[in-house]
Amino acid sequence: MIRSKQKLPLNALRTFEAVGRHQHMRRAAEELCVTHSAVSQQVRNLESLLDVTLLERKNTGLSLTPLGGRLLQDISSTLDDLVRAIGGVTVDNEAVDLRIACSSGLASNWLIPNLGDFLRHYPGYSFQLISLPVYPQEIPSDIDLCISYGKPPVSEERVKRLEKAPLVPVGSAKLFGGNLQSKMAAEKLTNYTLIHADDGTEWRDWFRLTNVENVKAERNLYLGTGYHNVLDCIRRGLGIGLMAKRFIEKDLASERLTVIHTETTFQPEYYYVTHPEEEYRSAAGRDFESWLYALWQQ
């Protein structure tokens, strides 16, 4: 029995909560930005530590055992308490005009680089950004607008799906010894490290579109669902990754990065914009939503 707070397996508990909530190892791994094997190992370590079975593993998928269901309920309740506790010592809501919840990858790669444009158009607003996981299971209740990767569990009339942005292979001058490469044949890309924001599906789809079979790259980097991590590695010259051009406009203009093939694929999921119930919508939220749609269409 665990009798000390210092010995609590916090990472394993957080991992189990994500697995239990999704009842899916891959989605939990994407939310936590870790590998499928890391998630599986954390859950097995927790089961070993507690000497109980928390998950039933079947060919049809995962399900919680009765003990697993009880533990999930307790962990979820505790995490909610922690969120409320942290919220009590963070930003004073009365000092903020506009609260936006956004998937972390989209925030760092697109929203933050363009935020100055919004603030120039609406100079009177104070702004707070709240980070969201992928495939959010709930939306913060006190926000003006939410931009999520994956559809949140809210009513249809509150949600609008954004058009998918095409993904293209991108590399940096660092990768190519200081000389940006012109377009190269698809099969040549396997001579480099491929950087992944998922389990490899996006790259497999891309190579299928270019009629390249039996792909075996020099090396693979799997970084979980987080295009900000992929972009950081691309910029550092660690390999080639699939990115939406809208995320790297300045990098392309400055020739820090280059598109090395014209074939495109798409992210497996959409981004969704969610607003509060109609009676709770704010003028600031409507202004931000109008600005967002106009910019996304550019």
* Contacts of the segment 281-287: beta carbons below 8 A, 24+ positions apart: 281/144, 282/98, 282/144, 284/97, 284/98, 284/122, 284/125, 284/144, 285/98, 285/144, 285/145, 287/122, 287/125
**Pair 207, 140 in one domain:** no
Residues 247 and 284 in one domain: no
Query: pLDDT digit string (tens) for 152-203?
Result: 888 888 899 999 889 999 999 888 876 666 678 899 899 999 999 888 889 9
Among residues 87, 112, 130, the one where a domain terminates is: 87
Q: What's the number of domains the chain is made of? A: 3
262 and 174, same structural domain? Answer: yes
152 and 276 in a single domain? The answer is: yes
Question: Residue type for 160, please?
Answer: K
- The tens digit of pLDDT for each residue in 218-273 reads 899 998 766 778 888 999 999 999 999 888 888 888 888 999 998 999 888 889 99
CATH for 118: 3.40.190.10
**Do 57 and 125 reside in the same domain of the chain?**
no
- Rounded to an integer, what distance in angstroms lies between the CA atom of residue 172 and that of residue 194? 13
Give the residue from 191, 154, 171 showing the smallest Cα distance to 274.
154
- 101 with 77, same domain: the answer is no
Residue numbers of the domain that contains 129: 93-163+270-296
117 and 254 housed in the same domain: no
Query: Same structural domain for residues 193 and 234?
Result: yes
CATH assignment of the domain containing 28 = 1.10.10.10
pLDDT recorded at residue 223: 84
Short-list 167, 171, 164, CA closest to 192: 171
- Asked if residue 229 and residue 145 are part of one domain, the reply reads no
Model's pTM, two decimal places? 0.63
292 plus 157 within the same structural domain: yes
